[in-house]
Chain A
Amino acid sequence: MPGTGRAGPVPGQPAQSVAAGDTSPDHRRFGSRLHSAFSRSASPAGRGGPRRRPWVGLLFVAPMLLLFLVFRFLPVVGAFLLSLTDYRLSGKWDFIALDNYTRLLSDSVFHQALLVTVTYTVIFVPLTVLLSLGTAVLLHQVVWKRGFFRGVFFLPYVTSIVLAAVIWKWIYDAQDGLLNAVLGLVDIGPIDFLTQSGTVLPSIAVTSAWKGFGYSMLILLAGLQAVPKSYLEAAMIDGAGTWQRFRYVTLPQLRPVLFFVLVIETIGAFQVFDAMYVMTGGGPVRSSYSLVYFLYDSGFKYFDFGYASAIGLVLFLIVLIVSLVQRRLVGRDD
C-alpha cells in the first residue's frame, strides 16, 4: 500500500520538529473552541450549529473511516495476533504464544537478514544524507539556474525504485555495463558488482541513494534557506571563514532538519526490498537478503503467515525505536 505508513513517522512531524509551527493540537483546539463559542452566540439559535448534528460529521468521515478500520486498523491488530499463531495457507491455525519469536531468535536466516539490513542501513544512510546535504548546500550557494538543477536532482525521485534497480543492474553488469565500460577506459575491472558479497550492498545503496536523495535534498534546502542571514553576517563580521560559518552557524541551525532527514532515511533503509528483489534476488548467497525480503519469502514462498507476521512486528519495533530515539534527541535539544 503506497504512502500509507511506508515513511513510518507521522507526516506532520516535519511540521512539528522542522518548521515548529503552530500545529500544537491543544493550541488549535483552544483557538477553535474560543472561536466557535464566539460565533455561536452571534448566530441565530434556531438553525442549529454543527454541534447539534453530530451525524453530519460522522457521515463525512464514514467512507474513510470504514476503509481505515477494515484495511489499516484490522491488519495492525491482525499482524500482532497472527504472530502468535502458526496460521497456514489452508487457514488452519493453532495458538502457539511466542513460539514464532523464539524461533526467530535461533533462526540463522533471520540473523543474516538482520545483519544485511543493518549493514545496508549503515552504508545507505550516511551516503544519502551526505549526498542530499552536499547538493542542498551547492544549490543554496549557487544561484545560477537553481530551478533547473533542483529539478535535475529531484528527477530520479519521481520514478520507481524498480526502474532505478533495472537501470543500475545493467550499469553494474560485468560484460555490457556502463560502469565497467568506463572503468575499462582506465584499465580497471571488469568488476562484477552484484555477484560479490563485498560489493553488492554498497552497489544497491548507491542505487537507492541515487533514486531518493532528491527528497532529503529539498527538505535540507528549505532548512538552509531558513537559517537567518543576520547570524551568518554576524559571524562574518567576527571573522569566521566559510567553513567556520558552515560548521558553527549553519549546521547547528540545521540540526532538527538533519535529524528529521536521518530518521526518514533510516526508517526507509530498514524497509529495503524492491531494489534487492530486482537487482540480486537476495544473493549472492543471501548477502543482500533483507528483513522485508525474509518476510516476503516466509509469507509468499513458504506460506508461513504466522512467522512472517512476527518478522513484520520486529520491523515495526525497529522503526518505532528509531522514531522514539529521534524524538528524544531532538526534544532534548530544543
Chain B
Amino acid sequence: MVNMLERPPVRAVRETKAVGRRTAARLTLPTLLTLTAIVTIVPFAAMVMVAFAPPSGRTFPDALNPANFTLDNFSRVLSSSDIPRWTVNSLLYSLVSVVCVLLFASMAGYAFAKKKFPGREIMFWAFLATLMVPFQATLIPSYILVSRFDWVDSYWGLIVPTLANSQAVFLMRQFIMQLPDELFEAAEIDGASEWRIFTTIVVPLIRPVLATLGIFVFLWHWNDFLWPLVIGQSGKMQTLTVGLATLQTQAVPINQVMAGATITVVPSLLVFGLLQRYLTDSIAMSGLKA
C-alpha cells in the first residue's frame, strides 16, 4: 500500500511513464503492422518478379534485377500449355454459376421469406441441415450421380451440381425477410403478376445483397479445386486452378509456372480491387465464407 504522502509523486512518475509508453506504442504498433503487411505481400511480389525474370539462370538474384525483366515466360507458358482454354473454362464455370445461383437463390429466398406453401418449414430446414455436411463427404456419390447422367468431363457436370447452394438461399431469405410486406401487397392489389412483382419490386430492392453474393459465388468457383479436378478429366475440361496444379507437376520451369500463376490471380485481384470494401464489410456482417 502506498503512503498518502508519497502518492502525488508516484502518480506523476506513473503518468510520465505512461506518456512515454504511449509514444513508444505509437511507433511500435504501426511498425509491427507495416512489417506484417510486408511479409504478407512478399509471396505475391516474389511470384510476379519470378514471372518476369529471365528464364535462364538462378531465380535469385536475377529475379531482383528489373533490367532483366522479360515477357518470355508468359509467351512460353501461353503457347506450351492450354491456359487460354482453361481460362475460358474457369470463366464459364464462374460466370454461369453466378448468374444461375443469383437467380435461383433469390427466387427461393423470396418464396421462403414471403410466401406460404405446404412443406415450407421442412424444406428450409433441410436446406440448412445439408450445410453441416462437408462437400468432400459427398464427393463420391456426387461423382457417381454425374457419371450416371453421362456428364463427366462436360460443362454440365462441372456447373450444374455446384448450383445447389444452400448458403445463398439462406442469405437471400434473411435479407428478403426484412423487406416490408406492404410493398408486395400493394403491387398485388394493383394486379401485378407474381413474376412481375419479383422482377420489378424484389430484385431492385435486393441489389446490394445480390452484388455481395455474386462476388462470393464468383470467388468460390474461380478458386475451386476438388470438384473441377474430379470432373474435368481431359486437359480440355480443366479449369485454371487445376491447370496450374498440373503445370507444376510437369517439368515446366518455375518462371513459367509463376507466369501462369500470375495470370490466374488477375481476375481475383480485379474483383478484390474493385469491390474490396463490399467484400470485407459483408464478411463482418454475415460471416459469409468464400
Decide if B170 touches A163 in the complex (CB within 8 Å): no
User: How far apart sit A178 and B286, CA to CA, in the bound complex (Å)?
Assistant: 38
Complex contacts, A73 vs chain B, CB 8 Å: 126, 130
Which residues of chain B have C-beta atoms less than 8 A from A154's C-beta? 272, 276, 279-280
- Per DSSP, chain B at the interface is helix
Is the Cβ of B198 less than 8 Å from the Cβ of A60?
Answer: yes
Residue contact B134 to A8, C-beta cutoff 8 Å: yes
- A15 touches B (CB below 8 Å): yes
Chain A residues touching B, range: 35 or more
Judged by a CB distance under 8 angstroms, whether A161 is at the interface is yes
B224 and A47: CB pair below 8 A? no
Closest Cβ–Cβ distance, residue B87 to chain A (whole Å): 14
Given A74-B145, A79-B137, A163-B244, A54-B223 contact (CB < 8 Å): no
* Cβ 8 A contact of B132, one of A5, A19, A160: A5
0/1 string, A22-40, CB within 8 A of B gives 1: 0100001000100110010
Answer whether residue A82 sits at the interface, using C-beta atoms and an 8 A cutoff: yes
B246-290 residues with Cβ-Cβ distance < 8 A to A are 248-249, 254, 257-258, 261, 264-265, 268-269, 271-272, 276-277, 279-280, 283-290
Contact of A163 among B115, B219, B264 (CB under 8 A): B264
- In the bound complex, what is the Cα–Cα distance between A295 and B140 (angstroms)? 9
What is the predominant secondary structure among interface residues of chain A facing chain B?
Answer: helix
Q: Which positions 167-226 of chain A face chain B at CB distance < 8 Å?
A: 167-171, 173, 176, 178, 181, 210, 215, 218-219, 221-222
- Structural contact, A60 and B269, CB atoms closer than 8 A: no
Which listed residue, B29, B47, B194, B289, touches A56 by the CB 8 Å rule?
B194
A4–B162 contact, CB under 8 A? yes
Other A-B contacts than A7-B289, A176-B59, A312-B138, 5 sampled, CB-CB below 8 A, are A8-B132, A32-B177, A64-B105, A67-B164, A299-B143
Enumerate chain A interface residues (CB-CB to B < 8 A): 1-15, 18-19, 23, 28, 32, 35-36, 39, 43-44, 47, 49-51, 54-61, 63-65, 67-68, 70-76, 78-79, 82, 87, 134-135, 138-139, 141-142, 144, 147, 149-171, 173, 176, 178, 181, 210, 215, 218-219, 221-222, 242, 260, 264, 267, 271, 273-274, 277-278, 281, 292, 295-296, 299-300, 305, 308-309, 312-313, 315-316, 319-320, 323
Pull 15 A–B residue pairs with CB atoms less than 8 Å apart, ordered by A: A2-B162, A7-B289, A8-B132, A12-B128, A14-B286, A50-B115, A63-B107, A135-B36, A138-B32, A155-B269, A158-B279, A159-B223, A178-B46, A210-B43, A312-B140
